[in-house]
Amino acid sequence: MHFPSAGGSGARVDPAYLDRYVARAVEAGAAALGFGLAPVHHETPRALVEACDRHGLPLVEVPPQTPFTAVARAVWQAMAEARHRELRRVTEAQQSLASAAARPEPVPAVLRQLAHHLGGWAALLAPGGGELYGAGSRPGPAVRAALSELARVVRPLAPTQPPAPHATHAPAVPTPADHPSAAPPPAARSRAAHPQPARAQPARSPAARAQAAGPAPSSATDTVGGGHLAAYALAGGVPGEGLVLAVSAGRREPADHALTGVATVLLSLLTGPYQGTADTDRSAALVRLLLGARPEDVANLLVGPVRPIAGASTQAGTETDPAPGTERSGPAGPRWTVVHGHRRGSGPAREAAPLAAASLAAALGTALVDADGDAVRALLPADRRISAQPGWTLGVSGAASTGELAVADAQAAGALRRAVANRSGLARHRSGDAGVAALVAPEEARAHARARLEPLLDSPALVETLRSWLALHGSWDRTAVALEVHRNTVRQRIARTAALLDADLDDPDTRMDLWFALRWL
């Protein structure tokens, strides 16, 4: 109020004085300036209006009858309402993220929910910067390139390590990522648009800025084309080799930073390894096997307390009950079930295959998984309930002891072929009575099988084609689907098989004899 003036008219006000005053208010982070009329001034000085216009600072003229406490009360009420809206939004978003993490395919579900609440794009990036999963409105190449650069900057946060500084452009004022409790005021945005020459800095890449700032941060932000970008390293990895959560949105609010932090924690838990007691026992079992122990001696260490994740669905019309007589353990040790899985459709990128296999393993309730691209083999205690899983075709063996796992593996492979041929989500090995096969001694049966099928033993493709063709009742199309070959290839292989065996495959007796031989083989 007490700047140089004459009679309050503002005619003799020093414009340079007011310009410095407004500039200092903007530099201090003022969102607006309220000028109260009476008792000192009867009108707002024109020089003050012009200075606020130059610096982009909103100017509000307060009438004389408005008490100062009313202004303060209105401001605090508006702040309280904004805070309430923010807390409600964060709470609702946290609940949706937690629900997404409990779904059968949790990683894509969490990313979809995060992108929805941010109103932008969320992606999980591989160590090399490649996209594993993405959700939301996909940004352009320039934004994706900037996010890949941010991903190379960040590094995982160790459990006992304090957070490292944020890597970001050198803004004139703090950003919400630096101070998640308050958004930048309008004055700050105005000043960022009109930087002072004395504070201008040369443009540098996020990697260069992070290197100049010291240790690599666990998160980094940038701005490209008016959009806000951020990258967060997931816990559990090492610098340059861990997964990164990348987000792009048109706005950046304090709640957005909090939601992204929640998603980072959830994704770290979903994608990172956890070494619990059961994992230690399984590692010990593997070491003992490599050092010469018998499988029967270490089988008990493999049975851990892993259970299916919450939200793993049991779909209507699918088989869910374990096979009869599948007790978990017995006199010969634990009983097992082997599951073969094949991922349907295009699915995520091949780099994400381990994450897809991990999601399937969690849904089945086991950590004993062998994944190879889109194919997965899993080993479960025989008392586990197995249901169809979205995006997967499964074949399930009968219960087997530790010494019978090779037989169970073949059973699961056959069940998977049948599921693929029938276009069903899950098929089980049909165990039944042995019938006439039990009348033949196993040694004699195997000898007969080798002699009967000897012309085919050097061609596994012919043996497998004959097995599938007989199992599917001579259907060319279903056999082609099961083997993933053309139906003409099936015809050619069966014709070749008939010629090598010198057999009439239209004769049901011949088919029965060959079927038993294949079983004994």
Of 432, 467, 496, the one marking the end of a domain is: 432
Tens digit of each residue's pLDDT (9 = 90 or more) over 25-82: 999 999 999 998 888 888 898 999 999 999 999 999 988 888 888 988 998 999 999 8
DSSP 8-state assignment for residue 469: H
Give percent of the chain above pLDDT 90: 20
Question: Is 57 inside any structural domain?
Answer: yes
Out of 92-96, 363-367, 389-393, which region has the weakest mean confidence (pLDDT)? 363-367
Higher pLDDT, 25 or 333: 25
- Does one domain contain both 216 and 248? yes
Give percent of the chain above pLDDT 70: 70
Q: Is the pLDDT of residue 161 over 70?
A: no
- Does one domain contain both 103 and 245? yes
Q: Is 253 exposed, middle or buried (0-12, 13-18, 19+ CB in 10 A)?
A: middle
Res. 347 pLDDT band, cuts 50 70 90: low
Higher pLDDT, 218 or 174: 218
> pLDDT value at position 89?
86
- Does one domain contain both 43 and 96? no
Q: How far apart are CA 29 and CA 178, in angstroms?
A: 15
- Does one domain contain both 97 and 38? no
Range of the domain at 476: 437-520
**Strand segments (E) across 126-269:** 131-136, 219-224, 227-233, 244-249
Question: Is 375 inside any structural domain?
Answer: yes
- Does one domain contain both 406 and 486? no
Of 370, 398, 432, the one marking the end of a domain is: 432
> pLDDT value at position 1?
66
- Does one domain contain both 221 and 341? no
Tens digit of each residue's pLDDT (9 = 90 or more) over 196-213: 433 434 444 544 444 444
Report, as an integer, the average pLDDT of 136-165: 72
Question: Is 223 inside any structural domain?
Answer: yes
Concatenated DSSP letters of 285-328 = HHHHHHTT--HHHHHHHH-----PPTT----TTS--SPPTT--S
- 114, 247 Cβ separation under 8 angstroms: yes
Question: Is 290 inside any structural domain?
Answer: no
> pLDDT value at position 201?
41
Q: What are the b/e assignments for 499-516, b being 16+ CB within 10 Å? A: eebebebeeeeebeebeb
Structure tokens at 170: 């050198």
Which of 241-255, 301-315, 346-360, 470-484 is most confident?
Answer: 470-484
Question: Is 417 inside any structural domain?
Answer: yes
Mean pLDDT over all residues of the chain?
75
> Does residue 118 sit in helix, strand or coil?
helix
- Does one domain contain both 381 and 475? no
Higher pLDDT, 355 or 451: 451
Omega prior to 39 cis, within 30 of 0: yes
- 404, 334 Cβ separation under 8 angstroms: no
> pLDDT value at position 372?
77
> pLDDT value at position 445?
82
- 233, 219 Cβ separation under 8 angstroms: yes
> How many Cβ atoms sit within 10 Å of the Cβ of residue 355?
24
Q: How far apart are CA 89 and CA 95, in angstroms?
A: 10
Q: Could you tell me the CATH number of the domain that includes residue 112?
A: 3.30.450.30
> pLDDT value at position 229?
87
Out of 284-298, 318-332, 467-481, which region has the weakest mean confidence (pLDDT)? 318-332
> pLDDT value at position 281?
64
Single-letter code of the amino acid located at 482: A
Higher pLDDT, 5 or 420: 420
Of 399, 432, 465, the one marking the end of a domain is: 432
Nearest to 123 by CA among 248, 272, 255: 248
- Does one domain contain both 505 and 380? no
Higher pLDDT, 298 or 106: 106
> pLDDT value at position 306?
44
- Does one domain contain both 443 and 428? no
Q: Is the pLDDT of residue 404 over 70?
A: yes
Res. 13 pLDDT band, cuts 50 70 90: confident
- Does one domain contain both 103 and 229? yes
DSSP 8-state assignment for residue 216: P
> pLDDT value at position 297?
75
> pLDDT value at position 87?
87
Report, as an integer, the average pLDDT of 378-384: 85
CA angle 286, 291, 292 (to 5 degrees): 100
Which of 93-107, 166-180, 293-307, 420-434 is most confident?
Answer: 93-107
- Does one domain contain both 351 and 418? yes
H or E stretch covering 423: none
Q: How far apart are CA 258 and CA 107, in angstroms?
A: 18
Question: Is 4 inside any structural domain?
Answer: no
**Alpha helix positions (H), 303-440:** 353-364, 405-422
- How are beta strands 244-249 and 392-396 bridged, if at all? unpaired
Report, as an integer, the average pLDDT of 488-508: 93
Q: What are the b/e assignments for 137-150, b being 16+ CB within 10 Å? A: eebeeebbebbbbb
Question: Is 249 inside any structural domain?
Answer: yes
- Number of structural domains (the chain) is 4
Q: Could you tell me the CATH number of the domain that includes residue 487?
A: 1.10.10.2840
Q: Is 182 exposed, middle or buried (0-12, 13-18, 19+ CB in 10 A)?
A: exposed
- 239, 156 Cβ separation under 8 angstroms: yes
Q: Is the pLDDT of residue 498 over 50?
A: yes
- Does one domain contain both 100 and 45? no
Report, as an integer, the average pLDDT of 173-192: 38
